[in-house]
């Protein structure tokens, strides 16, 4: 292969280890590669929104977006973190030979507590929690999140008796304590211990290369486990375990479904000859469902924590899926938009300088006029998504900034002429017109749309609110006090929120998904 294969990976120690494993296998086959570690989410350069593409997994979405953007050629994942439905245009291309599949118990001191009535065990996994409580119902489970090294340090600094890890993770990083023990009685997560590689469906050349490192036995077993998971979960996060393995030409499958507190458990085990195993996942899932699994899944779907996060913008189902298990998020539109009729007198001649600070203004313009009728010489805007929308539907943007204040400061120094036409809302910040006016630049404001503040009083259980514009903050304040945490999409929104909240946090990039990441970080 002539090109260098760009391998996308998260930047944690374990993710990098897994990516290097794939890199070394490709190198042995004579292929050139380069690692591309990624940390934060970027905008996707496609016409469809994320939810329409099926981008969901909290641990995989950054790499999905990078691949669809063309920034990487392949992505390496812990297979158990990958959603059962891959995004449109992305396919599974290889799985590496499986490592240690088991869960491992790491002790704080020793294992004597296993015979005691009281003990504290740490895990962030619903599945591990439920299986442990089923075996040790009097023990206390505490939440444990973060990367492997962070979790080991938390165990060291705590008064817990032990913590549960994936054996493959601590083994690959060579940090497994000598006295750690595998929990052979605990059924692992589907595809646990497996490294999986995805590529673009259209990139047939790369897919053919990755087929050379695919481990067929691991592929067969993990497919069965994930088919079992897909059949059971129905979009609900549930304590589900699944393990398939091949020995002496026989395939053995073990599956389990539990209630979250471990008091209810339904298990299945089935053995089939290799070659006659193709219906085993479906058979075992139906076995579970027919023996109370349907009722248990309904209970799991109905059980929920009280709302602790509220979004001031309605969230899609796929966006809801991105939240961690500790978040119960509700949402509604605190700001409703009504597009105005824009009088032809504002557009009768070519306008030299146009300022647009939101996608709503773009929609208003295009609702009133065709792109051909919008004769703008220089267009200045706020935000990458607004820029993308303008350039796709109206014309080239001369310059863009992250917020209105920075755009005004730029215009003071670099504008052509001394006049701008500003398409805005009836509710807007004063920064841009004030800065330009003080510098002798005439601002012709055209009210392109109206903003209606339409908030509700939030429950007392809400610990944090997600904001996407200064208007959403202002709307929130009509019915609520500024308590808890303000999770903000950008600096301008954060500036408004800081008038009412003591704890204000800003997303890494201005997307709803990045604000969700910010929320999840708080609950890690």
- Number of Cβ atoms within 10 Å of the Cβ of 185: 9
**Cα dist from 58 to 63, 80, 123, 278, 290, whole Å:** 10, 12, 18, 30, 31
Beta-strand ranges (E) seen in 129-189 are: 140-142, 162-166, 181-182
How long, in residues, is the chain? 524
* CB contact at 8 A, 90 and 84: no
Beta-strand ranges (E) seen in 365-438 are: 376-382, 399-401, 419-425
Three-state SS string across 262-297, please? CCCEEEEEEEEECCCCCCHHHHHHHHHHHHHHHHHH
Give the C-alpha separation, 338 to 41, whole Å. 31
Give the C-alpha separation, 161 to 262, whole Å. 19
**Cβ within 8 Å of residue 423, ≥6 positions away:** 342, 354, 355, 356, 361, 364, 365, 446, 448
Return the bridge partners of 37, or none: 9
Helix (H) or strand (E) run with residue 465 in it: strand 464-467
Q: Does the active-site annotation cover 184?
A: no
* CB contact at 8 A, 56 and 315: no
* CB contact at 8 A, 295 and 309: no
Helix (H, G, I), strand (E, B) or coil at 122: strand
Q: CA-based diameter of the chain, in Å?
A: 85
- Number of Cβ atoms within 10 Å of the Cβ of 73: 22
Closest to 67 (Cα-Cα) out of 134, 125, 139, 8: 8
State how far Cα 374 lies from the chain centre: 38
The tokens for 252 are 């053995």
Q: Which of 81, 143, 261, 325 is catalytic?
A: 81
Tokens 């003080």 sit at which residue? 438
Tokens 């750690």 sit at which residue? 180
Between CA 196 and CA 206, with CA 202 as vertex, the angle to 5 degrees is: 50
Burial of 468 (C-beta count, 10 Å sphere; 0-12/13-18/19+) = buried
Return the bridge partners of 339, or none: 449
The tokens for 171 are 């083994």
Kindly give the residue spans of alpha helices, DSSP state H, lying in 190-327: 204-210, 216-233, 280-288, 294-302, 317-321
What letter does residue 450 receive in the DSSP assignment? E
Beta-sheet pairing, 5-10 with 464-467? unpaired
Active-site residue numbers? 81
């Amino acid at each position: 292969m002539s090109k260098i294969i760009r391998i996308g990976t998260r930047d944690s120690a374990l993710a990098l280890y897994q990516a290097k494993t794939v890199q070394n296998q490709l190198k042995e086959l004579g292929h050139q590669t380069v690692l591309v570690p990624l940390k934060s989410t970027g905008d996707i350069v496609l016409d469809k929104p994320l939810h329409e593409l099926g981008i969901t997994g909290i641990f995989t979405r950054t790499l999905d977006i990078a691949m669809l953007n063309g920034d990487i050629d392949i992505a390496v994942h812990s297979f158990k973190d990958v959603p059962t439905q891959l995004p449109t245009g992305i396919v599974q291309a290889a799985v590496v030979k499986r490592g240690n599949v088991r869960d491992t118990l790491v002790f704080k001191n020793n294992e004597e507590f296993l015979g005691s009535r009281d003990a504290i065990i740490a895990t962030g996994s619903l599945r591990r929690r439920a299986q442990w409580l089923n075996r040790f119902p009097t023990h206390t489970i505490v939440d444990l999140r973060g990367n492997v090294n962070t979790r080991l340090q938390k165990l060291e600094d705590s008064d817990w008796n032990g913590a549960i890890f994936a054996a493959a993770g601590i083994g690959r990083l060579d940090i497994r304590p000598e006295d750690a023990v595998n929990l052979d009685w605990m059924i692992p997560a589907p595809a646990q211990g497996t490294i999986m590689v995805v590529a673009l469906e259209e990139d047939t050349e790369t897919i053919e290369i990755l087929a050379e490192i695919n481990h067929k036995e691991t592929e067969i077993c993990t497919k069965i486990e994930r088919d079992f998971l897909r059949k059971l979960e129905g979009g609900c996060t549930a304590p589900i375990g699944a393990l398939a393995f091949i020995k002496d030409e026989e395939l053995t499958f073990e599956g389990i479904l539990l209630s979250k507190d471990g008091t209810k458990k339904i298990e299945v085990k089935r053995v089939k000859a290799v070659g006659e195993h193709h219906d085993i996942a479906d058979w075992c899932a139906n076995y579970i469902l027919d023996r109370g699994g349907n009722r248990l899944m309904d209970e799991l779907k109905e059980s929920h924590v009280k709302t602790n996060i509220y979004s001031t913008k309605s969230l899609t189902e796929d966006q809801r899926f991105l939240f961690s298990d500790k978040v119960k998020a509700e949402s509604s539109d605190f700001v409703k938009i009504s597009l105005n009729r824009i009088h032809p007198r504002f557009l009768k001649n070519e306008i030299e300088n146009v300022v647009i600070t939101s996608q709503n203004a773009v929609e208003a313009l295009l609702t009133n006029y065709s792109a051909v009728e919008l004769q703008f010489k220089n267009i200045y805007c706020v935000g990458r998504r607004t820029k993308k929308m303008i350039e796709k539907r109206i014309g080239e943007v001369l310059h863009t900034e992250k917020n209105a204040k920075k755009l005004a400061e730029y215009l003071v120094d670099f504008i052509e002429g001394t006049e701008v036409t500003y398409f805005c809302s009836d509710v807007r910040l004063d920064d841009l017109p004030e800065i330009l006016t003080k510098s002798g630049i005439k601002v012709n404001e055209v009210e392109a749309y109206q903003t209606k503040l339409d908030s509700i009083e939030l429950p007392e259980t809400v610990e944090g609110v997600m904001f996407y514009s200064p208007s959403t903050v202002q709307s929130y304040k009509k019915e609520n006090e500024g308590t808890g945490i303000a999770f903000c999409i950008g600096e301008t929104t954060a500036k408004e929120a800081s008038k009412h909240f003591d704890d204000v946090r800003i997303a890494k990039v201005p997307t709803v998904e990045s604000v969700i990441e910010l929320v999840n970080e708080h609950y890690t």
